């Protein structure tokens, strides 16, 4: 792995150059609430101490609403029109470890049986420049789900802050290497300087995942769930803010008689409609059952099937929950149940 030293100013210059070369450049917005496509180098918002955005960056791989194909009806014939997914190349700069790690986690489900060309083509065309994280609040728990504030998982290039507004730039993947070669004019020097790791203050574990998994394996039916889901109102803030939640619904929308499209929209297991059968029967007929599904999918089913935890510990679901349900507290409660 190659290590370079690069200044913040040069990273800005890189952004300017990428924009000239018609790349989409995505960074945290100035208010830090979401990831946006920026239009000038001055908009680059890159600070390891930034709080995770309110909404994750998954929309750049899995848009909230995505056309799959269009149709036209001419008398008796129906013509199908493919969607052109050849978007410009994208560079996401300033993804936190809890943002970047979600991409390889999601790739597993999108390539498990059917290979999702929409998701895959976006991932192929995106360079993720991750940044070490030096933010911490009572909702973060990356270190408990196998990540850390210095985790490079999912990043093609990874930046770690050095002194005086410099960054250590680690080239992680082949894709990242090819990308940096394209911009060889960048004043990057190879360096032996190594930054300090995140202090324990940022990197402490809040629970042992194995305890949660062990309990979940045995307790599909347990009174615990009634209490856990009791106050959940059943909105999808948690799922839509989440970097790893990926459920979607496919519907047809017409624009009158003669044309329309098939479209894939974000969906959430927290909605009653999500599991409602055409007969009217709903196997998940209460919020507690839906909340159990959310926890079980993330911390048990996905692990069983894909050997990954479907959670990066970013804490977005907890920070944004209208009724302040804190998933970390729920997981700690589960760990406590397992000890008993």
Partner 1 sequence: MNLAETAKDILKNHKAEFIIGYSKGRDGRTKPFIAKDEKGAEKLVFDHFSVNNLAVYLTRMEKPKGGKIGIVAKGCDVRAVNALIQENQIKRDEVFIIGVNCSGVVNDIDGEWNKENTQIKCKYCQLRTPNIYDILVGELEDFELPEDGQQLLMTKIENMNAEERFEFWQNEFDKCIKCYACRQVCPLCYCEQCIVEKSMPQWIETSASARGNFAWNLIRAFHLAGRCIGCHECERACPMDLPITLLTRKMGMLAGKEFGYRHGMDPSQETLIGSYNIKDNEDFIR
Contact footprint for partner 1 (CB under 8 A): 33, 54-55, 64-65, 137-139, 230-231, 233-237, 239-241, 249, 251, 253, 263, 265-266, 268, 271, 273, 287, 318-320, 322-326, 328-329, 332
Smallest distance, partner 1 to C-beta of residue 153, A: 25
User: Residues near 212 by Cβ (< 8 Å), separated by ≥ 6?
Assistant: 299, 331, 334, 335, 338
Q: How far apart are CA 61 and CA 143, in angstroms?
A: 25
Cβ proximity to partner 1: between 14 and 242 the closer is 242
Smallest distance, partner 1 to C-beta of residue 194, A: 34
Is beta strand 65-74 parallel, antiparallel or unpaired with respect to 77-82? antiparallel
Cβ proximity to partner 1: between 16 and 63 the closer is 63
Radius of gyration of the chain from Cα atoms?
Answer: 22
Cβ proximity to partner 1: between 235 and 337 the closer is 235
Q: Is 203 exposed, middle or buried (0-12, 13-18, 19+ CB in 10 A)?
A: middle
Tell me which residue of 154, 179, 189, 173 sits closest to 5, measured CA to CA.
189
Cβ proximity to partner 1: between 65 and 165 the closer is 65
Cβ proximity to partner 1: between 140 and 147 the closer is 140
Q: How far apart are CA 264 and CA 69, in angstroms?
A: 10
3-class SS of residue 82: strand
Structure tokens at 295: 């926890």
- The answer to whether residues 20 and 14 touch, using CB atoms and an 8 Å cutoff, is no
247 C-beta neighbours (distance < 10 Å), count: 16
Smallest distance, partner 1 to C-beta of residue 187, A: 38
Tell me which residue of 159, 152, 147, 119 sits closest to 27, measured CA to CA.
159
Smallest distance, partner 1 to C-beta of residue 114, A: 22
- The answer to whether residues 54 and 316 touch, using CB atoms and an 8 Å cutoff, is yes
According to the 3-state scheme, what is the secondary structure of 122-188?
HHHCEEEEEECCCCCCCCCCHHHCCCCCCCCCCCCEEEEECCCCEEEEEECCHHHHHHHHHCCCCCC
Smallest distance, partner 1 to C-beta of residue 226, A: 11
Smallest distance, partner 1 to C-beta of residue 186, A: 35
Smallest distance, partner 1 to C-beta of residue 138, A: 4
Structure tokens at 85: 């997914």
Smallest distance, partner 1 to C-beta of residue 248, A: 11
Cβ proximity to partner 1: between 52 and 161 the closer is 52
Smallest distance, partner 1 to C-beta of residue 231, A: 5
Cβ proximity to partner 1: between 146 and 234 the closer is 234
Cβ proximity to partner 1: between 210 and 231 the closer is 231
Cβ proximity to partner 1: between 36 and 186 the closer is 36
Q: How far apart are CA 188 and CA 263, in angstroms?
A: 44
């Amino acid at each position: 792995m190659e290590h370079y030293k690069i200044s913040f100013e040069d990273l800005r210059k890189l952004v300017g150059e990428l924009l000239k070369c018609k790349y989409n450049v995505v960074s945290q917005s100035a208010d830090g609430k979401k990831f946006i496509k920026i239009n000038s180098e001055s908009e680059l918002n890159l600070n390891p101490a930034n709080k995770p955005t309110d909404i994750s960056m998954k929309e750049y791989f899995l848009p909230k609403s995505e056309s799959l194909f269009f149709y036209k009806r001419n008398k008796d014939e129906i013509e199908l029109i493919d969607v052109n997914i050849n978007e410009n190349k994208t560079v996401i700069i300033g993804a936190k470890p809890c943002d970047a790690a979600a991409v390889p986690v999601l790739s597993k489900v999108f390539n498990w049986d059917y290979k999702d060309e929409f998701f895959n083509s976006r991932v192929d065309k995106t360079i993720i420049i991750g940044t070490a994280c030096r933010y911490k609040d009572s909702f973060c728990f990356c270190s408990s789900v196998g990540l850390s504030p210095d985790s490079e998982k999912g990043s093609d290039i990874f930046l770690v802050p050095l002194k005086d507004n410099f960054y250590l730039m680690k080239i992680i993947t082949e894709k990242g290497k090819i990308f940096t070669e394209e911009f060889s004019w960048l004043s990057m020097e190879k360096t032996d300087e190594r930054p300090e790791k995140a202090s324990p203050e940022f990197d402490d574990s809040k629970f042992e995942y194995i305890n949660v998994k062990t309990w979940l394996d045995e307790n599909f039916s347990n009174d615990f769930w009634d209490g856990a889901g009791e106050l959940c109102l059943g909105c999808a803030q948690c799922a839509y803010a989440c970097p790893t939640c990926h459920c979607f619904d496919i519907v047809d929308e017409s624009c009158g008689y003669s044309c329309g499209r098939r479209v894939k929209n974000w969906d959430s297991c927290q909605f009653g409609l999500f599991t409602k059968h055409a007969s009217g029967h709903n196997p998940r007929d209460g919020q507690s059952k839906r909340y159990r599904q959310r926890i079980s999918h993330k911390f048990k089913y996905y692990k069983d099937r894909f050997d990954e935890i479907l959670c990066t510990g970013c804490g977005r679901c907890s920070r944004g929950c209208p009724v302040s349900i804190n998933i970390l507290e729920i997981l700690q409660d589960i760990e406590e149940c397992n000890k008993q």
